[in-house]
Structure 1
Amino acid sequence: MTLWARKKGVPLPAHPRNWKGTAGEWLGDAAAFFRKKGVPEAEANAEFIMAAVLETGRNDVRLGASHPLSEKQGFHFWELVQERGQRVPLGYVLGSQGFMGLDIAVTRDVLVPRPETEELAAAARDLLQAGRPDPTVLEIGTGTGCVAIALAKALPGATVYATELSPAALALALRNAEAHGVSRRIRFLKEDLFKPAARGAGWADLVVSNPPYIPSAEIDRLEPEVRKEPRLALDGGKDGLDAIRAIAADAPRHIRKGGWLVLEIGSEQGAAVRGLLEGAGGAAVEVRRDLQGLDRIAVARF
């Protein structure tokens, strides 16, 4: 289903150009509107929306800036621009988000996949590729399923378990896995943390998770886009470490000797998470920084 078909029947939003103009003119209008609304990366957001409306890539949008839009295209474009102007995350506006070269369907039931989580998935992938050819992997809190799917695609011999507390998120993750042809190699389980995936001691080669890690009091001070995402997936308790503590405490029981725990963490949590992982028996604990130079990925061997 195209975006236009999904939006059909919505009242026509106001636009000063009276629904006429080239793609480049529409992009300029959208970028100006976004700057007025405080939307970050105004030009890039406008290009992503135009690419979705025209069902093409961003480069083609730039090359085709002199081409006029039809009234239907203009209406659809401006409707999505207005939605993004309300600080709705771009992934929700478009219904999908790129992740490690994959197109991942997104709804308001899940976090929008982020570049930081691509770093989490890449760290897990690299550790697994250096090990046995048929690893068993557990992802805790799969959301869209993007990490589990990326790992299953990169590691054809892997068996992946993915837990999720939200039924809506779990259904979306399964649909994403089916779309990418890996649903038979990922077992999606409705539960929190380890409970349904437990198979006794030492069964997983790697456990990976992007747990809730934002301190409760900080959530309402975050960017408007983040505040529109599911609070359950964001709220890490008073100090942001509730879920990480639980994972660190239980993970050693499930990880095979020599296996790994890989976590996405908050930008100021490196020292605290290192202490938790070392206290749980983790060896070679490493806190890696993201592209902005902030603490983001914690890795421990058990």
Structure 2
Amino acid sequence: MIVTVTMNPSIDISYPLETLKIDTVNRTNQVSKTAGGKGLNVTRVIHDLGGDVLATGVLGGFHGAFIAEELKKVGIKQDFTPIKEESRDSIAILHEGNQTEILEAGPTVSAEEQTAFFEKFKELLQKATIVTISGSLAKGFPQNFYQKLVHAAAEQEVKVLADTSGESLRQILKGEQKPYLIKPNLEELEDLLGQKFSLEKLEEIQAALAQPLFEGIEWIVVSLGKAGAIAKHQDAFYRVTIPSIQVVNPVGSGDSTIAGFAYGLSQRMNTEELLKICMAAGMANAQEKKTGHVDPINVQQHFENIEVKKIEQ
């Protein structure tokens, strides 16, 4: 079973407007409300692909109840830790070809609630083969909390796919136990290393990924947007090239990439197949209006058209 972790879920609210009028009333009858958060995007895509998945994390208040109900409606298994404070809203206003976002910071999770979640997480590890950790931590959590989850999973020999950034990622990399995979995009890698990279000089990215900081991580997949990806598996490097597609909504494509990899890993796919399925899932998500969804038929079509080449060193 794949367990997905979302430590700061939200209700994602989308308001499409022809024109956003400032300092007056705006009306719309096309409101969309979905269970959001990077980890829940991962969950839905694994579910769409037919994978055995369970969502966990923390949920609170009426918003938390809404999120749980939305997952239940589509038959997604879940085991969240309840918290006292209200889960957050993330608002997107779509107007004149732009997307203006208003993101709440979210709840503060108490020390007792953190302990309760960690105990539940250790129980879920008994049933899991793969864990995905995605996105930010809610307020209250120490910055090394994800490192703690990686360590607990390693003790049970459960593979962790980590998709976070900033200090949370730095703390994970400092840990004695390493995740099985990390998936920074180019901007996140630059932020992590304090170094700029160019798509014209991929050898510089290769050299960066060979640094001692990344030692012990089996897989590093650096997503390059429409340019595909560069990946490191053990000591080998791969260049992944993807075909051009008509993009409808790119939000959640990085989460879908993690979902595709987790699903492929659960199906015991080989190196080339794993790189194809993760990129195919990301592409298929970008073709959907709804964030964190894929059509398995599109995934399979993209899978056939993605090129993976081993980079000779």
User: Which structure has the greater CA radius of gyration?
Assistant: 1
Q: TM-score surpassing 0.5? A: no
Tell me which protein shows more strand as a share of its residues.
Answer: 2
Tell me which protein shows more helix as a share of its residues.
Answer: 1
TM-score range normalised by the length of the shorter chain: 0.3 to 0.5
Higher RCO (CA 8 Å, separation ≥ 6 residues): 2
